[in-house]
Amino acid sequence: MEDPGIKLPKGFYLGTASAAYQIEGATTQDGRGPSIWDQYVKTPGAIENGDTACDHYNRWPEDVEIMRHLGLNAYRFSIGWSRVLPKGRGKINKKGLDFYSQLIDALLEAKITPFVTLNHIELPQKLPEEGGGWLRRGVHHDFREYADTVTQELGDRVKHWTTFNEPWELAWQGYHTGEDAPGLRLGIDSALEASHNVNLSHGHAVQTIRDNVPDAKVGIVIHLNHVEPATQNPEDIAAAKRWEGCQNRWYLDPIYRGEYPEDMKELYGPLLPEIQPDDMETIQQPLDYLGLNMYRRSVVADGTDLAPVNIKRISPPGEYSDMGWEVYPKGLYDILKWTDSNYPTKKIYVTENGAAFNDPVTPDGRCHDTRRVAFLREYIKQALKARTEGVPLHGYFAWSTMDNFEWAYGYNMRFGVTYIDFQTQKRTIKDSGYLLQKIAETL
Ligand code: FCB
């Protein structure tokens, strides 16, 4: 592997990220309860090519060994709520907790710091069956119980806790556009309702984590994209502002400022959920870090999508991944700078960044994912540039640890730095994995 010309600062975390449902498999093993995804994948047409898994639940020792071999010093993963509490609340599945406990011990033994996410676009199927799911305000009681159960058991060893991954995706894609489980196509009022309930759950869980793990570092992960108007026309500039409000500010403002953005409240008007007197105080908990997921910048024109947000996404000329997402490394620099200047925070981690390039294993037994090598190298450089200009960036996690279940795309989109043969479950470290190894040598 050629020298990528990257030197990581002292104390920096370099790792990969994954999510429970995307890698674990073993959906009925050892007492796990069904999640909304188990239900959703059965919907005809919902998922492209979606019927196998990485079986990480059984093969985790090999996966940890790969990370150790690559010299990574951190790993971000999530816990499957229904593996721990099969019905969402009540009876604990000890075997599910044991799985995470053993994984964490092995990581610590390999000198890999665990960053644990409590919720990565998931919910035990039992909860919506009883009514509402994320649309039920009281769901925060269940989330708090879950956070309590997990942190009591694992908090002695895990110090980095994330409440949620990407509230926008969970709420909008689950309840409005219907791309993600539970796949509902309800009005935007439902997406906003789900968002508010997620925010409340976040606020309650932060308090529980701090009660159980006094030395915890607690944060949330938000998908943030730098938004640019397609032209300098006032209509496009206004559309860009609305999209920034919808995806970025609607999630950052309540957490960092204790309020939803005024311009968006006005725009949503009657679609807004009921906000009770203490809600914003509950949501605005002091945090130790912000996790920033970034995949592509948003170039936006005035349009008719997601009314009343009324935007149209534009694809500027340039390079695109197999997912059809633009490759634009400077976008990571831009969003880090934007976030830091608008929402000053103690620490930022890039908790996901990566691209789908579906390169195969070649006869030499390797996976030469040269486009991903270039992608990661250039994005990491841009992230470090933001850091040299004062952004408190302390870690970078590539998405993803291994090829996995890419939600509605099933197994058709490969994001991993390790290749998975989904028939045999054989793991092959890709060239991009070796790139991370080379960079990790500078730690
Ligand atoms: C993010 C999700 C992650 C993965 C990537 C490609 O939005 O957090 O689970 O699917 O997209």
Q: What is the largest CA-CA distance in the chain?
A: 63
Q: Whose CA is nearest to atom 9 of ligand 1?
A: 19
Name the band, by pLDDT with cuts 50, 70 and 90, for residue 49: low
Q: Quickly state the pLDDT bin for 52 (edges 50, 70, 90).
A: low
Ligand 1 centroid, distance to 233 Cα (angstroms)? 32
At 368, the amino acid letter reads H
Q: Catalytic residue among 166, 193, 244, 406, which?
A: 166
What's the gap in Å between 368 CA and the centre of ligand 1?
A: 23
Omega of the bond prior to 182 within 30 degrees of 0, cis? yes
Ligand 1 closest atom vs CA 169: 7
Q: How far is the CA of 415 from the centre of ligand 1 (A)?
A: 9
Q: Is 352 noted as a catalytic residue in this protein?
A: yes
Question: Is 122 known to be catalytic?
Answer: no
Q: pLDDT (tens digit, 9 = 90+) per residue, 305-349? A: 999 999 999 999 999 999 999 999 999 999 999 999 999 999 999
Contact by Cβ (8 Å): 87, 124 = yes
User: Which atom of ligand 1 approaches the CA of 407 most closely?
Assistant: 10
- Name the packing angle between helices 250-257 and 188-212 (round to 10°): 40
Complete DSSP assignment for 98-115: HHHHHHHHHHHHTT-EEE
Distance of CA 160 to the CA centre of its chain: 15
- Site to probe by mutation for ligand 1, drawn from 292, 296, 406, 409 as the one with most ligand atoms within 8 Å of Cβ, is 406
Residue 166 Cα: closest atom of ligand 1: 8
- The pTM is what? 0.98
Closest CA to 82 of 72, 71, 73, 91: 91
Q: Which residues line ligand 1 (CB under 6 A)?
A: 19, 22, 165-166, 169, 223, 293, 352, 399, 406-407, 415
**DSSP code, position 270:** G
- Quote the ligand 1 centre to 411 CA distance (angstroms): 13
pLDDT in tens, 355-411: 999 999 999 999 999 999 999 999 999 999 999 999 999 999 999 999 999 999 999
CA-closest residue to ligand 1 atom 10: 406
Calculate the average pLDDT of the chain: 97
Distance 274 CA to ligand 1 centre (A): 29
Name the residue of 120, 223, 293 whose CB sits within 8 Å of the most ligand 1 atoms, as the mutation to test its pocket.
Answer: 293
Helices (H) and strands (E) in the chain, counts: 17, 13
Per the document, the length of the chain is 443
What's the pLDDT tens digit per position in 228-264? 999 999 999 999 999 999 999 999 999 999 999 999 9
Rounded to whole angstroms, the Cα distance separating 441 from 443 reads 6
Ligand 1 atom index nearest CA of 406: 10
Percent residues over pLDDT 90 in the chain:
95
Is residue 50 very low, low, confident or very high in pLDDT (cuts 50, 70, 90)?
low
Exactly one of 122, 145, 153, 352 is catalytic; name it: 352
C-alpha distances in angstroms, 11 versus 85, 142, 283, 331, 442? 35, 36, 30, 25, 11
Distance CA 179, CA 230 (A): 26
For residue 363, report the distance from its CA to the centre of ligand 1, in Å.
Answer: 30
